Amino acid sequence: MSIRTQPPPDLSRTSFLIIEDFEGMRAILRDILGRAGASRITLAASAGNAIAMLERQRYDVILCDLHLGQGKSGQDILEEARHRALLAPHAVWLMVSSEKAAEMVTGTVESRPDDYLIKPITETLLFARLSRQMAKKRALAPIEVAMREHEYLKALRLADAQLENDKPHAWDLKRLKAELAMHSGEHGMARSIYKEALDLRDLPWARLGLAKIHFNEGRFEDARQELEEITGGNRAYLEAHDWLARTLDKLGDQDGAQDVLQRALATSPRAPLRQLHLGEVAYRRGELGTATQAFQHSIDLARNTPLKSPRAYLALSQVQLDQNHTDAALKALAALSGDMADNTTAQLLAQAMQIPVRLKTGEHSMAERLAAQLAQELKTEARNLPPEAVFNLAAPLLELGDKNTAAALLGSLIGNNHEHPEYLERAQTIYTRAGLEDEGRELVQRSARAASDIMNRGVKLAREGKLGEAIELTREARAQMPNNARLLLNHAFLLIAWMERHGRQTVLNQEARTCIELARNLKPEDKRAGELLTRLELIGNDFETPA
């Protein structure tokens, strides 16, 4: 039966949220849905109303206009709804717009709605797209539920079971199964699915999957070859461009990385993380004008989204400072303070990073006062500060004679990154340039050695069967080095080993999972995180007692 002759679906039990700022269009969409029996229809005229309604209720279908006037766009609402888990597992999100320009269409698709509809919308097209997407989301919903509950092995089993009977969605299920396998550290399983797909035809998503495996296993040249195959023939596959830029960066080809990012942004400029990456690459290449523009774009695009973070503001302030644009540097820090008023770390950074700016403008006494006022807070929060901010702040602090705060910042940074030789070298360089080479060498060696010693002591205690002591040791170390990926995974390993021996405990289970997810954010390519998640899920549920 063709699309033209299909009867309207029965939508009498389906709940809808229509997000549209134009009253006439809200009425048109409501009337079309009503002809298919839909009566549970909620209307939202703005982003604020839409978020409030999504907070109160889980809808089956959301029809959202891309452009909603001032403030948040449809893309921003979708990203926030996903970030805050405001969508039901089976929910279908259809993005609607009169925008036909390739740039806008591609940018909207990047936010990954379930489908994209261009106005004017016909009844036939809307019902056809709705029926297809609702059937697909219903098929995948149980797997989505398991994933939200971090039950990845269960999700894999559900995918396998459904593959036996659900032929129409077979490749959706296989693709999801490959992604689950990657998440669980099962690279072999994922690789076999991607190769099976490529044996059928040249599917870009399967080639991208193989490239991710190569990247995560450190085979960057193999990853580059796969990614260039995709991007050479598909200008709009922007995720592949991002991975190619990351790969070229790893291979030391920053010229190539910048070129790839600029090509992707020419197609879809409304991508804050891609703009941020471009700024960082351009900054390392000395193209300060390009970096300035990219960092500002990143800030503007992320301002109303969950992607907002201090990183772009601090980078913009630093690149402005490097160009002697001190007023612009202070303006970027003021924007950080205003845009992230509820983030205490951002507020501290917005104040602290004024120190190098004030020194640059010759306001030595003001820089000195700021350093004195913030010294204790900087020491307390050192473990939570981003590496670039620490490096950019340490040299001015040494110039002001505040060796204690500089040592606290760099010592914490080295403890969290003791396996990154480039960080150790940069810390040493800061001390050498300050005429304190020996002090720097002693600090770097002491901080790196302390981190290594804790790891070794934990391993020794575990081998001796003293899991409780090892856990307490790494738990205390984690409080001091919360961003050390290896320590986080070691601590999770010990917690899992203890529960495998004594039984699952809810508190320990959550502690282990938190460590694994933090480590994965810090070091996404480490497959050990996925392997530990699998072990954690396999622990029995015989009993639960307080930790």
Q: What is the SS3 string spanning 206-264?
A: HHHHHHHHHHHCCCHHHHHHHHHHHHHHCCCCHHHHHHHHHHHHHCCCHHHHHHHHHHH
| CATH number of the domain within which 420 lies | 1.25.40.10
403 and 445 in a single domain? The answer is yes
C-alpha 354/C-alpha 544 separation (Å) is: 50
Q: How many CA atoms lie within 13 A of 52 on its CB side?
A: 8
390 and 497 in a single domain? The answer is no
If DSSP codes are grouped into helix, strand and coil, which group holds residue 65? strand
Task: Give the torsion sign (CA, 390, 391, 396, 402).
Answer: positive
C-alpha 107/C-alpha 105 separation (Å) is: 5
Residues across the chain: 547
Residue 456 burial by Cβ neighbours in a 10 Å radius (0-12, 13-18, 19+): exposed
| CATH number of the domain within which 477 lies | 1.25.40
pLDDT at 103: 46
400 and 494 in a single domain? The answer is no
275 is a domain residue? no
Name which of 258, 251, 238, 249 is nearest 111 in CA terms. Answer: 238
From its phi and psi, is residue 92 left (phi > 0), alpha (psi between -120 and 50) or beta? Answer: beta
Vertex 293 angle, CA 291 and 299, to 5°:
100
pLDDT at 111: 58
328 and 391 in a single domain? The answer is yes
322 is a domain residue? yes
313 and 452 in a single domain? The answer is yes
pLDDT at 2: 45
Q: Which residues contact 117 (CB under 8 A, 6 or more apart)?
A: 94, 95, 96, 97, 125, 126, 129
Residues of the chain falling short of pLDDT 50: 1-3, 101-104, 107-108, 541-547
Q: Select from 407, 438, 457 the last residue of a domain.
A: 457
143 is a domain residue? yes
- Count up the domains in the chain and report the number: 3
417 and 531 in a single domain? The answer is no
386 and 470 in a single domain? The answer is no
62 φ, ψ (degrees, to nearest 5)? -120, 120
72 and 10 in a single domain? The answer is yes
One-character DSSP codes across 111-180 = T--SEEEESSPPHHHHHHHHHHHHHHHHHHHHHHHHHHTT-HHHHHHHHHHHHTT--TTHHHHHHHHHHH
Tokens of 345: 């770390």
If DSSP codes are grouped into helix, strand and coil, which group holds residue 481? coil
From its phi and psi, is residue 252 left (phi > 0), alpha (psi between -120 and 50) or beta? Answer: left
Task: Give the torsion sign (CA, 280, 281, 282, 286).
Answer: positive
491 is a domain residue? yes
Number of H-type helices and E-type strands within the chain: 27, 5
- Asked, as a colleague might, if the bond just before 120 is cis with ω within 30 of 0, I would say yes
359 and 327 in a single domain? The answer is yes
C-alpha 242/C-alpha 230 separation (Å) is: 12
436 is a domain residue? yes
C-alpha 388/C-alpha 398 separation (Å) is: 16
Contact yes or no for 539/500 (Cβ under 8 A): yes
Q: How many CA atoms lie within 13 A of 295 on its CB side?
A: 29
CA distances from 209 to 191, 306, 523 (A): 8, 26, 18
227 is a domain residue? no
Query: Which residue type, as a one-letter code, is found at position 72?
Result: K
Percent of the chain with pLDDT over 90: 71
Could you tell me the residue range of the domain that residue 91 belongs to?
A: 3-148
Q: How many CA atoms lie within 13 A of 529 on its CB side?
A: 21
Contact yes or no for 74/66 (Cβ under 8 A): yes
Query: Which residue type, as a one-letter code, is found at position 22?
Result: F
327 and 425 in a single domain? The answer is yes
488 and 423 in a single domain? The answer is no
| CATH number of the domain within which 130 lies | 3.40.50.2300
Vertex 238 angle, CA 170 and 230, to 5°:
70
286 is a domain residue? no
37 and 134 in a single domain? The answer is yes
270 is a domain residue? no
Q: Which residues contact 76 (CB under 8 A, 6 or more apart)?
A: 47, 304, 305
Q: Select from 92, 116, 148 the last residue of a domain.
A: 148
C-alpha 12/C-alpha 34 separation (Å) is: 9
Q: What's the distance, CA 83 to chain centroid?
A: 10
Q: Select from 395, 430, 457 the last residue of a domain.
A: 457
